[in-house]
Amino acid sequence: MTALATAPAAADARERVAWPLLLGVRHHGPGSARGVVAALEAARPDAVLIEGPAEADGLVALAADPEMRPPVALLAHAADDPGRAAFWPFAAFSPEWTAVRWALDRDVPVRFADLPAAHTLAASDPTWGDGEDEADGAGRTDPLAELARAAGREDPEQWWEDVVELRGDTDPLAPFAALADAMTALRERYGHGGHPRDLVREAHMRLRLRAARKEFGDAVAVVCGAWHVPALARRTTVTADRALLKGLPKVKAELTWVPWTHRRLARRSGYGAGIESPGWYGHLFAAPDRPVERWMTKVAVLLREADHPVSSAHVIEAVRLAETLAAFRGRPRPGLDETTDAVRAVLCEGSDVPLALVRDRLVVGDVLGEVPAAAPAVPLQRDLNRLQRSLRLKPEADERALDLDLRGETDAARSRLLHRLRLLGVDWGEPTAGRTGTGTFRESWRLRWQPELHVRVAEAGVWGTTVEAAATARAESRALAADTLGAITALAERCLLAGLTDALPAVLGALADRAALDTDVAHLADALPALARSLRYGDVRGTDTAALAGVAAGLAERICVGLPPACVHLDADAAAQMRDRLDAVHTAIGLLPEPAGATGPGTLAARWAAVLRRLAETERVPGVIRGRAARTLLDEGGLPDDETARLMGLALSPGTPPADAAAWIDGFVGGSGGGLLLVHDERLLALLDGWLAGVPAEAFTDVLPLLRRTFGAYEPGVRRTLGELVARGPEAAAPGPAALVPGFAAVLDEERADGVLPLLHLVLGVPDPQATATEASA
Q: Side-chain half-sphere of 56: how many Cα atoms within 13 Å?
A: 31
Q: Which of 46-60, 160-174, 486-500, 634-648 is predicted least confidently?
A: 160-174
pLDDT at 730: 53
CB 95 within 8 A of CB 29: yes
Rounded CA separation 774/19 (Å): 99
Rounded CA separation 253/376 (Å): 13
Rounded CA separation 485/483 (Å): 7
Rounded CA separation 285/146 (Å): 26
CB 439 within 8 A of CB 533: yes
What residue ranges do the domains of the chain occupy?
Answer: 17-57+87-116+136-249, 289-364, 379-467, 640-747, 748-778
Give pTM, 2 decimals: 0.67
Task: Flag whether pLDDT at 8 surpasses 70.
Answer: no
Residues 6+ apart with CB under 8 A from 452: none
Rounded CA separation 773/148 (Å): 90
Rounded CA separation 524/526 (Å): 5
pLDDT at 524: 85
Cα dihedral 306, 310, 316, 318 in deg (nearest 10): -60
Residues 6+ apart with CB under 8 A from 738: none
Average pLDDT on 588-612 reads 81
Residues 6+ apart with CB under 8 A from 333: 166, 167, 291, 292, 326
Task: Flag whether pLDDT at 732 surpasses 50.
Answer: no
Helix locations, 246-351, DSSP H: 278-286, 291-305, 312-328, 336-342
Task: Flag whether pLDDT at 139 surpasses 60.
Answer: no
Among residues 627, 681, 683, the alpha carbon closest in space to that of 650 is found at 627
Residue 547's Cβ-count burial label (10 Å; 0-12, 13-18, 19+) is middle
CB 648 within 8 A of CB 691: no
CB 128 within 8 A of CB 267: no
In sequence order, the β-bridge partners of residue 727 are: none
pLDDT at 3: 38
Q: What is the pLDDT of residues 457-476, one digit of tens each?
A: 988 887 888 999 999 999 99
Task: Flag whether pLDDT at 499 surpasses 80.
Answer: yes
pLDDT at 746: 65
Looking at the chain, the whole-number percentage of residues with pLDDT higher than 90 is 35
Cβ atoms within 10 Å of 752's Cβ, excluding its own: 9
| Residue 443 CA: distances (Å) to CA of 281, 388, 765 | 39, 18, 20
Higher pLDDT, 115 or 518: 115
Q: Which of 20-24, 121-125, 429-433, 506-510 is predicted least confidently?
A: 121-125
Helix locations, 311-466, DSSP H: 312-328, 336-342, 352-358, 379-390, 409-423, 453-460
- Phi/psi for 52 (5° steps) reads 170, 165
Q: Tell me which amino acid residue 126 is.
A: P
Residue 624 DSSP SS3: helix
Average pLDDT on 331-358 reads 93
Q: Which of 12-26, 315-329, 678-692, 728-742 is predicted least confidently?
A: 728-742
pLDDT at 737: 46
- Phi/psi for 73 (5° steps) reads -145, 145
Q: Which of 221-230, 520-529, 667-676, 729-738 is predicted least confidently?
A: 729-738
pLDDT at 738: 42
Rounded CA separation 726/746 (Å): 19
pLDDT at 597: 66
Q: What is the pLDDT of residues 556-581, one digit of tens each?
A: 888 888 889 999 888 889 998 999 99
Q: Which of 266-275, 380-389, 692-701 is predicted least confidently?
A: 266-275
Banded pLDDT at 206 (limits 50, 70, 90): very high
Task: Flag whether pLDDT at 740 surpasses 60.
Answer: no
